[in-house]
Structure 1
Amino acid sequence: MSELVRTVLGDIPPGELGVCDAHDHLFIGSPALPGQELDDADAALAELNAFAALGGRAVVQWTPWGMGPRTEELPRLSRRSGVHVIGATGMHQARHYGPDAPAVAHDDLAGLFVHELTGAPVKAGLIKVAGAYHRLDDHARHVMAAAAEAHHATDAPIGVHLEGGTAAMDVLDLLCGRHGVPPHRVILGHLHRFPDPGIHRAAGEAGAFLAFDGPSRVHHATDWRLLESIAALADAGHAHRILLGADTVTPAARSTADGPGMPFLLGGLRPRIERELGEALAAAIFVENPSRAFAARWRP
């Protein structure tokens, strides 16, 4: 069984993915971000077009179930922009679901995830889960157990929101140590928010993919250490595990609203990485690594 990347328009060979924004959002909404919803399809298309104009060929939307992913809109946006789009299932922290979150976290989350990965009209290609700050609460453990079960049923990759970039090793202990998910099927997100080189190296040595996703955010306190963190990982032998994404989560962060947005990855960061860290590392981060991180031997 060959590995394929599951996009909203169907499965493609990994080599067709191209230059990839490995963590972003075209649509998202949460009670925790009132009035900041991404729900404008025209604005989403404009952002994709701006990304494509700089050579972007793929975007991974990490918006999980229940947070307004507008999955039915994604195929049209992908066709019109010419950009591959990978959607997500999964579940975020309880606070993003309002007061009814305990009822939402029902017993068959794994079945829901598997359906969205394999049986939905527009299939997801990623399971998104989330930890709490410096710990894994009961909600996170429940969702991650369901994600692991869905992974074993489908081989889907699991993307992890690390709150503040923390608890990376706790996540790997739970998903990989307890639930048997292979480390290379786990993508640890937001590592730039906790720029501890020792933790980054340990996660790389464990075999996980390491995502630095958030430079589209305005005034991230750790952005100035992004290239330093990437260089340290490359020097430690983990260049083949690094991913980059813009993680655009508010309308103001989009390039069409004078924010950095998706295009900043290619117009701002890629030239600096090529110039300061080398073209080979840039190619690994934007092309080669995503083609492995999001490919799976999909089971029916």
Structure 2
Amino acid sequence: MNAPAIRTVLGDIAPEELGTCDAHDHLFIGSPLLPGQELDDAEAALAELNAFAAHGGGAVVQWTPWGMGPRAEELPALSRRSGVHVISATGLHQARHYGQDELEGVRDGLAELFVEELTSGPVKAGLIKVAGAYHRLDDHARHVMAAAAEAHHATDAPIGVHLEAGTAALDVLELLCGSHGVEPRRVILGHLHRFPDTRIHRQVAEAGAFLAFDGPSRVHHGTDWRLLDSLAALADAGHVRQVLLGGDTVTSAARSTADGPGMPFLLSGLRPRIESELGPDIASVIFTENPARAFAAQWRQP
């Protein structure tokens, strides 16, 4: 059996090499839902990585999936120039982020597409990104998640899930784990801070999945003030080893080099609060130890 490794854009590394991690963010992304707000400037992406590194950041996980402008070919140079490990994603978002022709072109071969991006070419993805709908899983989500599960079983890649407004977490686990046999520890549920129901958070944690809280993005600030309470509740329940944190920067205005907190705020603003209120050991677990486990895989080549 292969030793666990994290697949970065510069190649596989041992989990202990990852360092302090922004577990959910974007260097490049574009969507018809955000016209004119694309992240498509490589120098701006480098400036954000450099700012993150200046505060001790060691790794960033880009959750931008296929078809939304991930520009994976540009990530290795950014990683080298900044000294920050970068993990990229394959996968597919909600249907509304794509044109109908785009979806029709890949719909029948999604699992194969995901496996190819995880295992082939000079820049390999290290994560499969999928998405639910609001309080439910529509037909598109079910189809994409079935393909993601197939690709996971072929490669052991982790699966990251966009939960729309933080909802349908238990439905996702029932589908991926109950119906498709994915181990809960291989699933990362994102945006849980947008639905700050500590009972749901505890149920997800008890099931064994990772919980990704990805404020303080500018566009999701409405629930940021509850973030520490959510983290404290999970820590008190004994689930701190399943918590991940990310910035989820999705527009150019949200970057630290523009008008937002950006990636550095995770370490300059949020980490000191966690250290003060929950303790430095818990902060280290959340920012370093947990990502090293969540994104590691025993990679298989189909």
Shared fold (TM-score, shorter chain, > 0.5):
yes
Which letter maps to 1:209?
F
Please state whether the residue corresponding to 2:221 is helix, strand or coil. Answer: coil
Whether the aligned pair in 2 keeps the contact of 1:6 and 1:125 (CA below 8 Å) is yes
Match of 2:50 in 1: 49
User: Residues 108 and 219 (structure 1 numbering): CA distance in 2 closer, same or farther, change over 3 Å?
Assistant: closer
- Structure 2: gaps (5+ residues): none
Q: What TM-score comes out, normalization by structure 2 length?
A: 0.98
User: Residues 104 and 164 (structure 1 numbering): CA distance in 2 closer, same or farther, change over 3 Å?
Assistant: farther
Match of 2:147 in 1: 146
Q: In structure 2, how many angstroms separate the alpha carbons of the residues matched to 1:202 and 1:69? A: 33
Please state whether the residue corresponding to 1:36 is helix, strand or coil. Answer: coil
Which letter maps to 1:202?
Q
How far residue 216 of structure 1 moved from its aligned partner, in angstroms, is 2.4
1:295 pairs with 2:300: no
Whether the aligned pair in 1 keeps the contact of 2:37 and 2:251 (CA below 8 Å) is yes
Which letter maps to 1:53?
A
Please state whether the residue corresponding to 1:48 is helix, strand or coil. Answer: helix
Match of 1:135 in 2: 136
Question: Percent identity among equivalent residues?
Answer: 80
* More moved, 209-218 vs 229-238: 209-218
Match of 1:94 in 2: 95
Match of 1:278 in 2: 279
How far residue 108 of structure 1 moved from its aligned partner, in angstroms, is 1.0
1:84 pairs with 2:94: no
Match of 2:11 in 1: 10
Whether the aligned pair in 2 keeps the contact of 1:214 and 1:248 (CA below 8 Å) is no
Q: In structure 2, how many angstroms separate the alpha carbons of the residues matched to 1:74 and 1:64? A: 14
Match of 1:119 in 2: 120
Whether the aligned pair in 2 keeps the contact of 1:95 and 1:101 (CA below 8 Å) is no
Q: In structure 2, how many angstroms separate the alpha carbons of the residues matched to 1:219 and 1:5? A: 28
Q: What TM-score comes out, normalization by structure 1 length?
A: 0.99
Q: In structure 2, how many angstroms separate the alpha carbons of the residues matched to 1:72 and 1:102? A: 22
Q: In structure 1, how many angstroms separate the alpha carbons of the residues matched to 2:11 and 2:77? A: 13
Name the Cα RMSD after superposition: 0.9
Match of 1:190 in 2: 191
Which letter maps to 1:289?
N
Q: In structure 1, how many angstroms separate the alpha carbons of the residues matched to 2:94 and 2:81? A: 32
* More moved, 244-253 vs 209-218: 209-218
- Structure 1: gaps (5+ residues): none
Which letter maps to 1:144?
M
How far residue 121 of structure 1 moved from its aligned partner, in angstroms, is 1.9
How far residue 219 of structure 1 moved from its aligned partner, in angstroms, is 5.9
User: Residues 90 and 219 (structure 1 numbering): CA distance in 2 closer, same or farther, change over 3 Å?
Assistant: closer
How far residue 94 of structure 1 moved from its aligned partner, in angstroms, is 0.3
Which letter maps to 2:16?
G
**Number of aligned positions between the proteins:** 300
1:222 pairs with 2:223: yes
Please state whether the residue corresponding to 2:107 is helix, strand or coil. Answer: coil
Whether the aligned pair in 2 keeps the contact of 1:242 and 1:285 (CA below 8 Å) is yes
Q: In structure 2, how many angstroms separate the alpha carbons of the residues matched to 1:192 and 1:82? A: 30
String of CA shifts for 1:44-98, please: whole Å, max 9, x gaps.
Answer: 0000000000000000000000000000000000000000000000000000003
